[in-house]
Amino acid sequence: MFIEVVDAFRCTRPHELTWLVAQADRLEDRDIITGALGCPICGARYPIAAGVADFRAAAAAAAAARRSPPSPAPPAPDLAERALRVAALLGLTESGGLVVLAGAWADAAHEVAALVDGIHVLAIDPASHVSSGFGVSVARADDTLPLRPDAVRGVALDAAHATAPFVETSVAALRPTGRLLAPAAAPVPPGIVERARDASDWLGEKHELTTLARAAHPSG
């Protein structure tokens, strides 16, 4: 977990928005390898182990019970193709900012980080070959994206992460005109304008608030 990304997170519990406080027991370069993120309001604690932040409600119990089994890495050409597709669709041409890749998209997190200078990729629930560092942070999540409003420029969701709560929290985390990529079977949520669609996915853009305000008050 890259230390500069900590500011983008929020507590997953329903209360007013707050920053999480990072505790770093082991730091490598500027990545927290072992530690935790804590909520100053409700006291929730999200552990960081092997560079991976765990936002799952049952994280502590699950970690104590067993380590997640290793999942095989997809072949390199598949990952390269996936990275090119998601970078093109999310419009990752300018440097800077935070991009969220969830599930199958997250398997290509390092390929995407290598394609675009200066962006940071938050990989949610990737296969076990994806480690934290070199422009990539890794987190495990339940059914919501634990990020603050306007924190990210683009989000790509696979089928497992295209649930209504995950989509809703993704829209909230996008900055205006930020892009959302989701499976074709998922409904396009409020706040998102569909821009493109093919057999597998649709691409949408978050409303720009000023445009909406102008449309609502045409005389002003």
Q: Where on the chain is the footprint of Zn ion (CB under 5 A)?
A: 11, 13, 39, 41-42, 44
- Closest alpha carbon to 6 in 116, 106, 139, 142: 139
Q: How far is the CB of 37 from Zn ion (least distance, A)?
A: 10
Residue 39 or 87 having the CB closest to Zn ion: 39
Residue 16 or 29 having the CB closest to Zn ion: 16
Residue 12 or 132 having the CB closest to Zn ion: 12
Q: How far is the CB of 42 from Zn ion (least distance, A)?
A: 3
Q: What is the 3-state secondary structure (H, E, C) of 105-152?
A: HHHHHHHHHHHCCCCEEEEECCCCCCCCECCEEEEECCCCCCECCCCE
Residue 43 or 218 having the CB closest to Zn ion: 43
How many other CB atoms are found less than 10 A from the CB of residue 167? 23
Q: How far is the CB of 51 from Zn ion (least distance, A)?
A: 23
Q: How far is the CB of 13 from Zn ion (least distance, A)?
A: 4
Distance, C-alpha 48 to centroid of its chain: 16
Q: How are beta strands 192-197 and 174-183 bridged, if at all?
A: unpaired
- Alpha carbon of 72 to those of 68, 95, 128: distances in Å? 12, 30, 7
Residue 17 or 215 having the CB closest to Zn ion: 17
What are the two backbone dihedrals, phi and then psi, of residue 77, each rounded to the nearest 5 degrees? -60, -35
Quote the tokens at residue 129.
Answer: 């070959």
Q: How far is the CB of 138 from Zn ion (least distance, A)?
A: 21
